[in-house]
Chains A and B, each alone.
Chain A
Amino acid sequence: MGAPRHVPPDPSARLWRNPEPKRGYDVVIVGAGGHGLATAYYLARNHGIRDIAVLERGWLAGGNMARNTMIIRSNYLLDESAALYNHALNLWEQLPAELDHDFLLSQRGVLNLAHTEQEVRDARRRSFANELNGVDTEWVTPEEIAEICPILNTSDEVRYPVLGATLQRRAGIAKHDHVAWALARKSDEMGVDFIQGCEVTGFTTDGDRVTGVQTDLGPIAAGRVGLAAAGRTSLLTDTLGIRLPLQSHPLQALASELLEPVHPCVVMSNHVHVYCSQAHKGELVLGAGIDPYNGYSRRGSIRTIENQLAAAVELFPIFARAHMIRTWAGTVDVTPDASPIIGPTPYENLFVNCGWGTGGFKATPGVGWVFAHTIATGEPHPINAPYGMERFTTGALIDEHGAAAVAH
């Protein structure tokens, strides 16, 4: 599993048009991040709906899509989660050919480390659950880990020795910006309008029916509206009086200077809470959990970075002298059960896709597929049927907290 050293293809001179918005569309998607792009793509490809606008207050894929750690995996414990993320992983594998754009999907394997006896039991349980759900998984011992990832400190001379790990070999990373550009180019070819610099500020309604969106470029009518606005979702639903169980938090990641390829896979540790991989170009890319307090500043706290770097250096002593050159934060929306909300709302014609917390990137094609189905048919796809907002009233939570292989 040596780290490949290829570079992304040069983007075409023009990937998408920049049209003026029309007065109305069959479908308006709010948010041109990965999820909004994938939703538009599958609306056009799977459902033949071409009269679509994707509205973006900043620039295309400039929000959390530009601020993630690129990791793709599907080794979730619960059936509902495994179905959603594995659907995404299956799509990831066919997308480069389908989109005719190499976004450097690298299935280099993801190790989820266990550092305590309880974590060993939890990880093995998750591994068995993955097998039952047809998700590839292996339990590996410290000796095997040392062969897979020689730079990882597997000695017992540390505070939290590595007692084993789950390994998903199909998991890996993909170059996130190129994923977005590939989806945008193909959607544009099918007629989707991407309107950048267009902030949605509210909705137009007729009784309990949404008929369009209000934007700073004027009102735009819509047959159906899909929200894929991540951290700012509840600011929009608040304007309709829909109270969603969402809290927005800063989520930070950081990247080092360019280094020789030394880190062959992705390593995640829930217990000491850091995850690390080496990007195609050579940077170490690290992430951890959300900052504890609510925030829209897109600027996290140094304490979170201190904690994750301390954990990273204990796991990877070789990185002690690496220089970190960039940190950044996105605004993620977190739900009480650490699972997304994908489905209809009390308003006819309005659909939400939100609450992804720290884990939205890996789901990009999978959620695009099921959210497009939900918007096109008005009904959830079987995969996202359990993810409705009503679960917080019925109590049928999808409680992936702690079971998700990394804390949210």
Chain B
Amino acid sequence: MLLIRCPWCGNREETEFRYGGQAHVHHPQDTSTLDDQAWAEYLFIRDNPCGELAERWVHTAGCRRWFNAIRDTATNRMRAELPSARKPVTR
């Protein structure tokens, strides 16, 4: 069971959260100019590192707000919980 820190509510058990996958994946601009390859990249392809991944979580059973965290996918160590932001979290 992960212990996850919500930026607003503090440490809570994993059962209160839902996972939102990789953070900072933005809908493409100028969609009329995109080719199939670019659409496939946006729709289907995400980073899959063995190590740190910037990802989204939502505190579904609590404040219901989204936030970003950096988690190590090999150790589950989490850091830098921040409100969902457009700029990548690097702190």
Which A residues form the contact surface with B (CB < 8 A)? Answer: 232, 234-235, 238, 243-248, 292-297, 299, 301-303, 333, 336, 392-395
Contact = CB atoms under 8 A, between A and B. Distances in A.
A296 B74 contact: yes
B14 A301 contact: yes
Contacts of A303: 1, 14-15
A327 to B, nearest CB: 13
Contact of A392 (B1, B15, B40): B40
Contacts of B75: 297
Given A297-B74, A303-B15, A394 B36 contact: yes
Contacts of A392: 40, 43-45
B48 A302 contact: no
Interface string B49-91: 1100101000000000000000101111000000000000000
A93 to B, nearest CB: 36
Contacts of A235: 48-50
Contact of A297 (B39, B44, B73): B73
Contacts of B41: 243
Q: Which of B19, B48, B73, B75 has the most CB of A within 10 A?
A: B48
Given A293-B55, A296-B73, A248 B48 contact: yes
Given A248-B50, A299-B76, 13 more contacts: A234-B48, A235-B48, A245-B45, A247-B46, A248-B73, A292-B18, A292-B19, A293-B73, A294-B48, A295-B76, A296-B73, A297-B73, A297-B75
A250 B15 CA distance: 16
B25 interface: no
B37 interface: yes
A245 B53 contact: no
Contacts of B46: 245, 247
A296 B49 CA distance: 9
A288 to B, nearest CB: 15
A246 B15 CA distance: 25
A347 B37 CA distance: 17
A302 B21 CA distance: 20
Contact of A302 (B1, B18, B37, B43): B1
25 contacts: A232-B50, A234-B48, A238-B48, A247-B21, A248-B50, A248-B73, A293-B2, A293-B55, A293-B71, A295-B73, A295-B74, A295-B76, A296-B50, A296-B73, A296-B74, A297-B74, A297-B76, A299-B76, A301-B14, A303-B1, A392-B40, A392-B45, A393-B37, A393-B39, A393-B40
B44 A336 contact: yes
A334 to B, nearest CB: 10
A20 B23 CA distance: 44
Contacts of A393: 36-37, 39-40
The 3 A-B residue pairs with the shortest CB-CB distance in the complex, in nearest-first order:
A245-B44, A292-B19, A393-B40
Given A297-B75, A303-B1, A394-B36, A243 B14 contact: no
A362 B45 CA distance: 27
B70 to A, nearest CB: 12
Contacts of A243: 41, 45
Contacts of A292: 18-19
Nearest to B39: A393
A299 B76 CA distance: 10
Contacts of B36: 393-395
A7 B86 CA distance: 59
B31 to A, nearest CB: 16
A271 B41 CA distance: 32
A220 B74 CA distance: 28
A16 B21 CA distance: 42
A293 B19 contact: yes
B43 to A, nearest CB: 8
A303 B15 CA distance: 7
Contacts of A234: 48
A243 B40 CA distance: 11
Contacts of B76: 295, 297, 299
A361 B49 CA distance: 24
A297 B71 CA distance: 12
A37 B40 CA distance: 32
Nearest to B48: A234
A236 to B, nearest CB: 11
A304 B1 CA distance: 9
Contact of A294 (B40, B44, B53): B53
B55 A294 contact: yes
